[in-house]
Amino acid sequence: MWLTLNLPMKWSIIIFLVLAFQTSIGQNIDEEDIVLYRKQRYGGLNINMNGYGLTGTMAKYDGAYKLWLFNADLLFVKHEKETKTWSPINDPNARPYFYGKQNNFYTLRTGIGRKIVVTEKLRKKSGVQVSYSWEAGPVFGFTKPVYLEIIYTTDTPIQQYYLEIEKFDPDRHYIDNIYGRASGLRGFNQLKYYPGAFFKFAFGFEYSNSKERLKGIETGAALDLYAKRIPIMAIYTDDSKNPKNHQLFFSLYINFFFGTKYDQK
C-alpha cells in the first residue's frame, strides 16, 4: 500500500505506529470494561403488604444473562385485622398492643430460583439493568405467644393496682384490664412450627454505578401456603368469636438491596 500511494518511508512508519497505538488503547479499554463474574451476593430490606423483614440472595451465573438464585427471607407477618390499642387509664408508660392478637408470626423462606437479565447496563454507569426472576421452596412458619401486662386490684380496704405479665387469654383479658404489651422477648421458648411452601415472581432494577457493586430494587408478588391455618388472632376488635385466620398468604412486596459481584473469570 505504501508503494501504491508513493508515501515517503518515514511517513508510512509514523502512520503505522499511530494506528497501532490507537488499536492497542481500544483493546485495553474493551478488556478493562468487559469484566466477567461468576457469582453475586446481595441482601437488604423487604417491605410487603403483610409485614416486613430481611432478605438475602446468593447467585451464580449460568451464561451471560441467566443466574441461579439461592434465597432466604426472614419476615414478620401481620394480620390485616390487627388494631393498635392503648391502656384505658391513659398511662404514658403503658405500651400499645393489638387487642385480640394471640400470636406473633414469623416466617423463614428458603428457596431456589432463576434470574433472567432482560437489558444489561454494560459500560453505562448511569444505566439500569432490568431483569425478572422466580423462586420457590419451603417456608418455615413460627408462632410466638403474645404476652401482656394485666391490671389487678388488691382486696384491701384501700384498693391498689398492680400488674401481672400473662399470656393473652381471650376469655380473661379484655380492653378494661389490659395495661399494655409486655416485653417482646417473652414466649420464644414456646414457639410452634408450621410448615409450608412458597412461590414468588419479581422484576429487578439494578442501578449501581460500579461494575462490581450491586444496588437496586426488586418488586414482585409472593404466595405462601401452609399445611393449616395460622392462629394469629383469637378475636377481632368487633367481638367476632370466629376470627378468619389464614392458611394462604398473598402479598406484593418491594426489596431494597445492595451487594457485590465476585469470583472473576
Question: Domain boundaries in the chain?
Answer: 1-34, 41-264
pLDDT given at position 265: 59
Strand 248-264 to strand 129-145: parallel, antiparallel, or no bridges (unpaired)? unpaired
pLDDT given at position 1: 42
pLDDT one-digit tens code per residue, 45-54: 999 999 999 9
245 phi and psi, to 5 degrees?
-75, 155
DSSP annotation of 188: G
The residue ranges of the chain whose pLDDT is under 50 are 1-5, 7, 16, 18-32
pLDDT given at position 95: 92
Q: How far apart are CA 11 and CA 108, in angstroms?
A: 72
Q: Is 44 left (phi over 0), alpha (psi -120 to 50) or beta?
A: left
238 phi and psi, to 5 degrees?
-90, 15
pLDDT given at position 23: 45
pLDDT given at position 161: 86
User: Strand, coil or helix: what is 3?
Assistant: helix
Contact 204, 115 (CB under 8 A): yes
CATH of span 41-264: 2.40.160.20
N-terminal to C-terminal alpha carbon distance within the chain:
41
32 phi and psi, to 5 degrees?
-70, -35
pTM comes to 0.81
**Distances from the Cα of 113 to the Cαs of 3, 39, 68, 100, 169, in angstroms?**
63, 14, 6, 38, 42
pLDDT given at position 154: 86
Buried b (16+ CB within 10 A) or exposed e, 129-141: bbbebbbbbebeb
Contact 245, 229 (CB under 8 A): yes
Contact 77, 51 (CB under 8 A): yes
pLDDT given at position 101: 94
